[in-house]
């Protein structure tokens, strides 16, 4: 078995493992969100049911037992109420947050056809080679060297910064564009959006601040119940977020290697992407601005992590630059060996 096939099998196994982790964690996150929303609905329902039953009792002369039934069945009520509340409380806000960030990225610069026509021509040619519709390409006026691909095969958008354009040679820039085109061809951005949803839901479930101490004076029992629920949700969602981050990072590293390979095949020059990665890696430094949660998570869309420390450890979103270069050099050796064998034949 040659090295290229071993790399592809290794990539496939890593991606399957990541998806398995994310599938299990997604179910647990959904169950936690349902219970959290359902318990809130149960607490809100108790005074309503009590008031209704109190108003109706004088006319019936007896007890319906509805309040007691709701009071003694918190789990059942929480599940029944939490399922329809799940998309309203969590999924829709998370979806809107992702869409807003994608729109923010897409509107971050001017169309490349207007400001950098040669870059637009390179993108068009690479898209034709990859057999996908030409993506919209924008150049954002930012000094930090970054590149993103959002959307899918049919409605993709590529964003590069002026810092990236000025840092790379023409061939190196084409290699980066080929990397982003490969992401679009593979549907990576859509996959990333899907796998980020459970992590963002977990963050929303556990994002509430602890209860105010003023509640302790007014309702001691209510305060203790609130503190207990807050502490439980904080601990549970913290573990869930770590599991999601691990699965996302594992999946992202695999997709980056696949996009590197796709870029090498599109340009026919793995060495050019190696040169681009080395140049960009030398320019990376820790960002000073405070990013929102989704913006931090979206660093998985950039060609390199936001800072050097993000490429180490089990939660890194990208393979180390050294690993990526080693894979590309393997592809280069395969090309050389293939050319020699063809010449010998």
Choosing from 146, 180, 203, 256, the catalytic residue is: 180
First to last CA, the chain: 21
Sign of the CA dihedral with 329 first, then 331, 334, and 335 last? negative
CA distance linking residue 223 with residue 30, whole number of Å? 26
Across 299-311, b (16+ Cβ under 10 Å) vs e yields bbbbbbbbeeebb
Instruction: Give Cα 197 to chain centroid, integer Å.
Output: 7
Whether 180 is catalytic is yes
d(CA 160, CA 323): 24
Sign of the Cα pseudo-torsion (318, 321, 323, 327, in order): positive
SS3 of 305, please? coil
Burial of 316 (0-12, 13-18, 19+ CB in 10 A): middle
Sequence length of the chain is 345
Give the whole-angstrom CA distance, residue 322 versus residue 13. Answer: 21
Cα–Cα distance for residue pair 75/84, rounded to 1 Å: 15
For Cα atoms 231, 232, 235, give the angle at the middle one, nearest 5 degrees: 85
Q: Which of 189, 232, 200 is nearest to 26 (CA)?
A: 200
Residues identified as active-site: 180
């Amino acid at each position: 078995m040659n090295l290229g096939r071993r790399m592809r099998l290794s990539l496939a196994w890593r991606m399957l493992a990541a998806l398995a982790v994310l599938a299990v964690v997604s179910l647990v996150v959904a169950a936690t969100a349902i219970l959290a929303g359902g318990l809130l609905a149960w607490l809100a329902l108790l005074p309503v049911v009590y008031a209704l039953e109190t108003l109706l009792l004088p006319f019936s002369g007896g007890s319906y037992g509805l309040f007691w039934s709701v009071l003694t069945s918190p789990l059942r009520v929480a599940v029944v109420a939490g399922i329809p509340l799940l998309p309203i409380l969590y999924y829709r806000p998370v979806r809107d947050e992702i869409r807003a960030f994608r729109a923010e990225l897409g509107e971050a610069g001017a169309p490349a056809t207007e400001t950098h026509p040669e870059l637009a021509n390179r993108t068009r040619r690479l898209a034709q080679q990859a057999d996908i519709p030409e993506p919209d390409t924008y150049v954002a006026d930012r000094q930090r060297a970054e590149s993103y691909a959002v959307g899918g095969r049919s409605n993709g958008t590529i964003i590069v910064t002026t810092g990236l354009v000025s840092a790379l040679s023409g061939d190196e820039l084409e290699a980066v564009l080929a990397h982003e085109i490969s992401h679009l061809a593979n549907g990576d951005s859509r996959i990333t959006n899907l796998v980020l949803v459970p992590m963002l839901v977990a963050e929303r479930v556990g994002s509430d601040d602890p209860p105010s101490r003023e509640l302790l004076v007014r309702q001691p029992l209510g305060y203790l119940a609130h503190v207990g629920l807050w502490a439980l949700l904080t601990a549970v969602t913290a573990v869930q977020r770590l599991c999601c981050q691990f699965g996302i990072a594992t999946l992202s590293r695999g997709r980056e290697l696949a996009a590197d390979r796709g870029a090498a095949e599109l340009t026919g020059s793995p060495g050019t992407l190696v040169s681009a990665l080395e140049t960009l890696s030398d320019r990376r430094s820790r960002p000073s601005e405070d990013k929102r949660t989704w913006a931090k998570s979206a660093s998985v869309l950039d060609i390199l992590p936001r800072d050097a420390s993000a490429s180490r450890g089990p939660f890194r979103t990208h393979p180390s630059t050294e690993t990526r270069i080693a894979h590309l050099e393997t592809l280069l050796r395969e090309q050389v060996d293939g050319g020699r064998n063809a010449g010998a034949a």
